[in-house]
Structure 1
């Protein structure tokens, strides 16, 4: 059950919802009651999958960003677009960064970044962050 909870928190943390998967992962690793490597894998998979949802949302909803229910605000998209225009697809290595990371994955979808490039770069950034937490705790 704890692995499913970690997956859900990590998934939701990759969306605009304010969840902290890093603190959850660190706390679970620190308790030593669970398989740390499995925790790392579950958190990584959930967080990457959440970013994929953002990419799909961006890819298929170019005309929906003006709707009230749309999860990203214009300011977030604008900020992430500046990062993306400055650094290109390599900016996806920073998809884990709070505030700009999640909208960055949406912008990648809006700009039609090739999915394979997207998934590789996002996975490198997000897994690297979790590996750091894994070794710190």
Structure 2
């Protein structure tokens, strides 16, 4: 993970993007290192949010372009888990995209919304808000831990 901080904002962007996929990755640690290292906090939060949001949109596009069977195969998602997520998301709609920042299930939310062909504009807006809120809170917690 230390390699990402060597690339500065680009490393933060890449780590945030990867963390929004099904890869088990902690972009929060990189964000904390950036804040601790004296990077501009507003720019750090903006870049982390943008990278994570674009990673989530990638998941949405995979879902939108794919069929449930292909998503299960490519991403190694168990069929019963994918079906449960699809039914749950069908009832909640785009506003559920706000919670795409959550660990584990958060990676499945954009994919499920894509499979359901939900409105991409509303989904993108709610997802951006959730991801930005997460990084704002994380940066604030990091600042207070340093004090």
Would you call these one fold, judging by a TM-score over 0.5?
yes
Tell me how far apart the structure 2 counterparts of residues 36 and 102 of structure 1 sit (CA, whole Å).
26
For residue 41 of structure 2, what is the aligned residue in structure 1? 36
Q: Given the alignment of the two structures, is residue 91 of structure 1 paired with residue 96 of structure 2, yes or no?
A: yes
Tell me how far apart the structure 1 counterparts of residues 88 and 33 of structure 2 sit (CA, whole Å).
32
For residue 46 of structure 1, what is the aligned residue in structure 2? 51
The one of 113, 116, 121 aligned to 2:121: 116
What's the CA shift for 1:84? 1.4
Tell me how far apart the structure 1 counterparts of residues 91 and 107 of structure 2 sit (CA, whole Å).
17
CA displacement 1:29-80 (0-9 Å, x = unmatched): 1232x1111111110010000001001100001152353xx11503542353
RMSD (Å), alpha carbons: 1.7
Q: How many residues align?
A: 134
Tell me how far apart the structure 1 counterparts of residues 138 and 126 of structure 2 sit (CA, whole Å).
19
Distance 1:98 1:66, change over 3 A: closer
| Runs of at least 5 residues in structure 2 that lack an aligned partner in the other structure | 1-6, 143-147
Runs of 4+ in 1 over 4 A off after TM superposition: none
- TM-score normalised per structure 2: 0.83
- TM-score normalised per structure 1: 0.89
Q: Report the structure, 1 or 2, having the larger helix content.
A: 2
| Runs of at least 5 residues in structure 1 that lack an aligned partner in the other structure | none
CA contact (8 A) 1:76 1:99 kept: no
